[in-house]
Amino acid sequence: MTESRELPEPGRVADAPPGNWVDRFAPARARPYLRLSRADRPIGTWLLLLPCLWGVALAAAADAPRLEDLWIIAACTLGAALMRGAGCTWNDITDRDIDGAVARTRSRPIPSGQVSVRAALVWMLVQTAIAGALLLSFNGAAVALGIASLALVAIYPFAKRFTWWPQVFLGLAFNWGALLAWVAHSGSLSAAPVALYGSGIAWTLFYDTIYAHQDKEDDALIGVRSTARLFGARTGRWLGVFLMATVTLMTAAVLVALLPTAAPLKLALALAAPWGLGWCLLWQMQRLDMDRPEVCLRLFRANREAGAIAALFLAAAALA
């Protein structure tokens, strides 16, 4: 079983980065709720936001950048933080017994007794309501998509109880923003954002399989399923499959969105997005040690930069 990490202060979550802003600056009474929302670990917000940025940037590259895209980006940024917080709160409510049995998660606010289940439910609803107000600023099709995503958020925490592929459900939920942001810009769906969504799902399977290797021993003891446990020693081969799917589907999204009318420079910049992301994932594969949780966590966090590279190239294509 994974050993517990020493906590520098009572109440701090074991896998939070040292010196994070919640531990250093947040009021003491707010800290348990901010930790419940993973505000002390912003990597999840980035991973939820980046597909949104891909979607709006590719839509702008296919059409033309608009001033309203700045609001789409701002609203998606705030919405990602809020919905990631609401989703994590819901996850911790449903997983409170499991989290209490896992060394890395038993220090979270609910299993450690810092926040009651009732207070957590209220906090989840507050975050969801504010995110809903932001969603209502988008067009009707985007609003409908945003509401539909709630079903995926609700189901995800239970997936590890009935499937060896809970990472698929995480991918479906975490990459929904690629569809939503595209529709917020264009008003309708097409093949390009669907392919982009598929690319994001494959990317999530890649990084969350790495992440799940941190808990595989505890998960085996308590019967929690994951792709890390399913793949075992074959993880490297599966990560290669997910890498190729990520690159192939994002490349297809770019080609469908931009051909045949895009200028060569625009097309070249957009095609650099999947290949830049792919090289970052290859770098992670070369450094992976599945039996060292600290390495898995560091590589998982590196996906912020990997996804941001793709977003920057797509944004450059939109402005070219």
DSSP conformation letters of 22-48: HHHHS-TTTHHHHHHTTTT-THHHHHH
Instruction: Indicate the pLDDT class of residue 145, thresholds 50, 70 and 90.
Output: very high
Q: What percent of the chain has pLDDT over 90?
A: 81
Determine the 3-state secondary structure of 94 from DSSP. helix
**Averaged over 56-78, what is the pLDDT?**
97
**Averaged over 31-54, what is the pLDDT?**
94
Residue 169: per-residue pLDDT: 97
Residue 99: per-residue pLDDT: 81
**Averaged over 35-60, what is the pLDDT?**
95
How many Cα atoms are found within 13 Å in the side-chain-facing hemisphere of 142? 25
Residue 10: per-residue pLDDT: 58
Q: In this structure, are residues 289 and 235 in contact, taking their beta carbons and an 8 Å threshold?
A: no
The encoded tokens of residue 211 equal: 């992440």
Rg (CA), the chain: 19
Report the CATH fold assignment for 25-319. Answer: Tetracycline Repressor; domain 2 (1.10.357)
Q: Which amino acid is at 233?
A: A
Q: In this structure, are residues 95 and 224 in contact, taking their beta carbons and an 8 Å threshold?
A: no
The C-alpha atoms of residue 273 and residue 116 are separated, in whole angstroms, by 44
Residue 218: per-residue pLDDT: 82
**Averaged over 184-189, what is the pLDDT?**
96
pLDDT tens readout for residues 208-225: 999 999 989 888 888 889
Residue 51 has pLDDT above 50, yes or no: yes
What does pLDDT average to over the chain?
93
Q: Is 216 exposed, middle or buried (0-12, 13-18, 19+ CB in 10 A)?
A: buried
Residue 83 phi, psi (nearest 5):
-75, -30
**Averaged over 175-200, what is the pLDDT?**
98
The encoded tokens of residue 35 equal: 């930790």
Extended beta strands in 99-225, E state: none
Residue 4 has pLDDT above 70, yes or no: no
The domain locations on the chain are 25-319
**Averaged over 135-141, what is the pLDDT?**
97
Among the residue ranges 63-67, 108-112, 174-178, the one predicted with the least confidence is 108-112
